[in-house]
Amino acid sequence: MYSIGLTFKLRPGCYPEYKKAHDELWPEIQETMSANEINMVIYYYKDRLFLHATAPTRESYERNYDNEAAERWVEYMSNLIETDDQGELIFEEIEEAFSFGAFKN
């Protein structure tokens, strides 16, 4: 099992729209996540989001983002999440400090 933790920062005042977008996740995004067996949870704390995802392999996780719907989703999210100078979403990978059970390597 592949597991990843990421953190990222919302633009000021964007949490309500971010939450709504995920509560009403596009069907094509749901389909590709299901097809690639992605499990994901995103936590919100102040202006930061913390994402934890699992997939059968790293390749299946990455394949989830290799389609036109994912490209449109990332473009939409770039209005809500902080980006770098090139307009790319800024995700910081979180170092795993502990794992147990199904998450144990």
Instruction: Using pLDDT thresholds of 50, 70 and 90, give the confidence band for residue 33.
Output: very high
Query: At 72, which amino acid appears?
Result: R
Query: How much is the mean pLDDT over the chain?
Result: 95
The reported pTM is 0.89
Nearest alpha-carbon partner for 40 in 25, 48, 28, 69: 25
pLDDT of residue 105 exceeding 80:
no
Which residue do the tokens 């992605």 mark? Answer: 38
Query: At 75, which amino acid appears?
Result: E
pLDDT given at position 53? 96
pLDDT given at position 104? 81
Q: Is 61 exposed, middle or buried (0-12, 13-18, 19+ CB in 10 A)?
A: buried
Instruction: Using pLDDT thresholds of 50, 70 and 90, give the confidence band for residue 91.
Output: very high
Both tokens assigned to 32:
């590709």
- The percentage of residues in the chain with a pLDDT greater than 90, rounded to a whole number, is 90
Region 60-89 average pLDDT: 95
What b/e sequence results for 62-92 when a residue is b if at least 16 CB atoms lie within 10 Å of its CB, and e otherwise?
A: ebbeeeeebeebeeebeebbeeeeeeeeeee
Report yes or no: 8 and 90 within 8 Å, Cβ to Cβ: yes
- Distance CA(105)–CA(14), nearest Å, equals 36
